[in-house]
Amino acid sequence: MKLFVYHTPELTPKVGFPDCAIAVDILRATTTISTALAAGAEAVQVFSDLDQLAKTSALHPEALRLKSAERGGTTVDGFDLGNSPFEYTPEMVKGKRIFMSTTNGTRALQCIQSAPIVLAAAMINLSSVLAYLQKNQPPVVWIVASGWQGSYSLEDTACAGAIAAGLDWEFGNDEAISAKCLYQQWSDRLEDLFRHATHGQRLLKLGGDLDIAYCASIDKVKVLPKQISAGVLAAGII
Ligand code: MLT
């Protein structure tokens, strides 16, 4: 296996897609997507653009849709849900399609949507992602961190490193090697690391203390968010 980590959607190549591409947005989009699918959501459909989200969701039966949008860490007015994983309870999401847009995470998913296999990874579903990769052995894997508006983020790199640490690979780019080192240095203090991170600090100011603790917990759920059509993720077979 050849493993490439990219720190932001902007740094991710636009051509030559790998066999499998994995988006990571620990705080909080891929954590929330994993939570929603584990809670029984039918699918999560991602958008970078809110107008496009509104148009597409309007075509879906009202009783079976929820619209979710976050910008800068807070819920966008007029949407059913924000991006806290705690909002995505079975009572709220079971059987529903979630039309979601977030500041960075949904952009990361959109930038890899042409890859033949697209997954979303978080700390809370780490073993599910690793089990899929170990079983299927895609020859070339990209891990695309969401970062924050074009810049590096510690928490996404730590998750990329956790994936790198759980796989056997014969080649990793420099980012994959350094992500693995970051994870190995902090693996028993992930929550502390996330609290130091820029977006962790932002979420703390917005009252996201419990969200950070949850996003740092490993294997809370057994679910594999896997793309079933462009931009649409559903629970895949692990
Ligand atoms: C993002 O896409 O940047 C986020 O997931 C931000 C957040 O809701 O914390």
pLDDT at 91: 98
Inter-residue contact 98 to 35 (CB < 8 Å)? no
Q: Which of 113, 168, 177 is nearest to 139 (CA)?
A: 168
Which are the contacts of 210, defined by CB distance < 8 A and separation ≥ 6? 86
pLDDT at 149: 94
- Interval between CA 226 and ligand 1 midpoint (Å): 19
- All structural domains of the chain, each given as residue ranges with its CATH number in brackets, are 2-229 (3.90.1560.10)
Q: Which of 26, 27, 34, 71 to mutate to test the pocket of ligand 1 (most atoms within 8 A of CB)?
A: 27
Pocket residues for ligand 1 (CB within 6 Å)?
A: 25, 27-29, 70, 73, 83, 102-105, 146, 203
Which atom number of ligand 1 is nearest to the Cα of residue 102?
2
Mean pLDDT of all residues in 66-91:
97
| Calpha distance 213→228 (Å, rounded) | 30
User: Which tokens hold the place of 156?
Assistant: 């996404």
Q: What percent of the chain has pLDDT over 90?
A: 100
- Interval between CA 114 and ligand 1 midpoint (Å): 22
- Interval between CA 102 and ligand 1 midpoint (Å): 5
Where on the phi/psi map is residue 16: left (φ > 0), alpha (ψ -120 to 50), or beta? left
| Calpha distance 104→123 (Å, rounded) | 17
pLDDT at 74: 96
Q: Which of 35, 86, 104 to mutate to test the pocket of ligand 1 (most atoms within 8 A of CB)?
A: 104
Mean pLDDT of all residues in 125-137:
98
Q: Which of 28, 88, 111 to mutate to test the pocket of ligand 1 (most atoms within 8 A of CB)?
A: 28
Q: What is the mean pLDDT of the chain?
A: 98
Mean pLDDT of all residues in 130-150:
98
The pTM of this model reads 0.98
| pLDDT confidence bin for 10, thresholds 50/70/90 | very high
Mean pLDDT of all residues in 189-206:
98
Instruction: Please state the separation of Cα 199 from the chain's center in Å.
Output: 15
Mean pLDDT of all residues in 116-143:
98
pLDDT at 83: 97
pLDDT at 229: 98
- Interval between CA 84 and ligand 1 midpoint (Å): 9
Q: What percent of the chain has pLDDT over 70?
A: 100
Which atom number of ligand 1 is nearest to the Cα of residue 72?
6
pLDDT at 103: 95
3-state secondary structure of 98: strand
